[in-house]
Amino acid sequence: MPIYEYQCQDCGRVFSKLSRSVQRSDESSTIPCPECGSENTRRIVSNVAVLDGLGGLTPGERAAENKFYEKQAGILPKSKIDEFRKAKKGK
């Protein structure tokens, strides 16, 4: 189950909430602040791994992949990088 992080826009309190489902509607529903009870909260982007259910990469994996390509770009010719990318896509 994904864990989402929220921040209260009134008191600034950051809290996390375990999502009971992966339904999209869950993302837009309002979660009241546990500190002051305000409903003026919003989900914040964190490094919590949330799979999108479509086989996509988590934000962490995406960052790692970008770093990987950056590193490769420094020691390999561009044609080799393209090969890597193609191989990855064909997965």
Dihedral sign computed on CA atoms, order 13, 19, 22, 24: negative
Q: Does 50 bind Zn ion (CB under 5 A)?
A: no
Q: Does 10 bind Zn ion (CB under 5 A)?
A: yes
Q: Which amino acid is at 30?
A: T
Q: Does 14 bind Zn ion (CB under 5 A)?
A: no
Nearer to Zn ion, 36 or 57 (CB): 36
CB 11 within 8 A of CB 33: yes
CB 47 within 8 A of CB 59: yes
For the bound state, the minimum distance from the C-beta of residue 36 to Zn ion, rounded and expressed in Å, comes to: 3
For the bound state, the minimum distance from the C-beta of residue 4 to Zn ion, rounded and expressed in Å, comes to: 16
Binding-site ranges for Zn ion (CB under 5 A): 8, 10-11, 13, 33, 35-36, 38
